[in-house]
Structure formats: C-alpha cells, structure tokens
Amino acid sequence: MSQINSLLKYQTVDSKLLKIEREAASSEEWKNYSQAKSFLTKAPEKLEAMDAKAREMQLALEKLNKKYEEIFETLKDFENLDELVEGGADISFYKKNATQIGDKLKSIKSEINALVKVIKEADEEYQTLKKKTISVQKQYAEYSAIYQEYKKTKLAEMEEIKKELKKLAADLKPEVLKSYDTKRSERIFPIICPVQSDRCSKCGMELSISGKEKIAGGEVTECENCHRFLYKEQ
C-alpha cells in the first residue's frame, strides 16, 4: 500500500478519535469540571492578594487615625485662649491657626471615612469570594466524580480506536507519522487533502512550482499556507 493510501486510511480512523475528543471537550461534564478546577486554581492567589491589600489599607487607616489624633491634640493649645487674649495676644492669629487646624482635621476625617468605606467593600468582596470558594470546592468534588465516570466511557471507545491506529501506523514511515502527529497537535485537520486545479482544496493556496512537480510525480507535498499534506487523487 502506498504512503498516500496508508495515510488516508490512518486519517479516516483518526477522525473518529478526533470526533470523540471534540465531543468530550464540549460536554457539560467537562465544562463543569474544568470551570470549577480553573476557579479553584485561581481563587487562593486572589484571596491572598485581597488579604494583602486589606492589611495595606488597614495600616494606612491606622496612620490616618494617628495623624488625626496628633493634630487634634494641638487644639489643647487654645484651651487658655481667653487668658492669652487678656494678656494682649493677637486673637486673629489664634483664630487663623484654629481654622487651619479645623480644616486639616476635616480633610483627614474625610480621608478616614473614604478609606473605611473602601475597606468595608473590600471585606465584603473577600467574604463573598471565600464563600464561593467553599461552595465550588463542594461542587468540584461532585463534578470531578461525574466527569471521571463520563471519561471512562469515552476512554474505552478511544482505546479501541488507538489500537487500530497503532496497527495502521506500521504502514507509515516514522518521519511521516511524526509530521502527521505534529500537525494534529497544531489543530490542523484534515491533515491530508486532495489537490484541486493545482490548489490546496482546503485553503485555496496555489502550489509552488516544486509542489506541482511533486504532485505530478505522484508524491505528497505540503501546502505553504495551511501546511496540510496534499496529494493528487487517482
């Protein structure tokens, strides 16, 4: 049997395997399992990042509270204002200072309130994610069991096809099989196609001069665009 016929026969059987693989990849069992797994893979990192951010904001809040208390303490300087005025002190100077201190306190208080709000929202988001993570962990165990059972039925079918492919592979040159497997891994399928009017029947790319010569000589060539194997139908 020629390499072309062997390759076509191999591809026909392989298409059955590919069909099962695609069915499995688009199944609800796989989707539920893979989504839960993906979520649980990313969740710890997200929770850790949120926790670190919360600690950072808490430190910022403590600094603001400390700053507020320190500035508030300076108001004690105005407790004996009446005595200072009676002693001839400039009341306008003290009023100006008191106003500036009051403005600073208002500004810091505003920052504190805004930060407290952000911290509260971040905590709610953290708790929501934490609860969801616990919930998905329970779902994952269920989805995993369902998917493993589903996979068993598909694996049995796939193993039968793989056994047949192994027998057919004996008729292919090692380098041809290796090239076929590489193209398959790159999601190229079908891998071997007929030429139509000196063009690839899949992408329409015209063959090069050397490609036309190979085809004319009954050999296989490769499409320079989609990289499929091309042959001339007899």
Full domain range(s) for residue 144: 24-170
Task: State pLDDT tens for residues 134-157.
Answer: 999 999 999 999 999 988 888 889
Q: Phi and psi (nearest 5°) for 195?
A: -90, 140
83 and 152 together in one domain:
yes
Is residue 4 domain-resident? no
179 and 164 together in one domain:
no
Is residue 18 domain-resident? no
111 and 177 together in one domain:
no
Specify the pTM. Answer: 0.60
User: Long-range pairs for 66-72 at CB < 8 Å and ≥24 separation?
Assistant: 67/108, 68/105, 68/108, 68/109, 68/112, 71/101, 71/104, 71/105, 71/108, 72/105
63 and 140 together in one domain:
yes
- Residues 127, 141: Cα–Cα separation, whole Å: 22
102 and 183 together in one domain:
no
CATH, residue 107: 1.10.287
Q: How confident is the model at residue 75 (pLDDT cuts 50, 70, 90)?
A: confident
What is the mean pLDDT of the segment spanning 12-19?
Answer: 95
53 and 135 together in one domain:
yes
30 and 110 together in one domain:
yes
Q: How confident is the model at residue 198 (pLDDT cuts 50, 70, 90)?
A: very high
Instruction: List the 229-231 sheet strands across, edge first.
Output: 199-200, 192-196, 229-231, 221-222
Domain count, the chain: 2
- Residues 196, 22: Cα–Cα separation, whole Å: 28
Q: Last residue of some domain: 124, 155, 170?
A: 170
What is the mean pLDDT of the segment spanning 69-77?
Answer: 83
Is residue 19 domain-resident? no
Residue 8 pLDDT > 50: yes
Is residue 13 domain-resident? no
Is residue 2 domain-resident? no
Residue 229 pLDDT > 80: yes
Is residue 12 domain-resident? no
71 and 163 together in one domain:
yes
Backbone Cα Rg of the chain: 37
What is the mean pLDDT of the segment spanning 21-42?
Answer: 93
Residue 1 pLDDT > 50: no
Q: Last residue of some domain: 144, 170, 196?
A: 170
55 and 144 together in one domain:
yes
129 and 228 together in one domain:
no
Is residue 1 domain-resident? no
- Please list, in sequence order, all residues whose beta carbon lies within 8 angstroms of the beta carbon of residue 226, skipping any fewer than 6 positions away: 188, 200, 202, 203, 205
111 and 209 together in one domain:
no
Q: Last residue of some domain: 139, 170, 201?
A: 170
Task: State pLDDT tens for residues 102-123.
Answer: 889 999 999 999 999 999 999 9
- Residues 232, 210: Cα–Cα separation, whole Å: 14
147 and 34 together in one domain:
yes
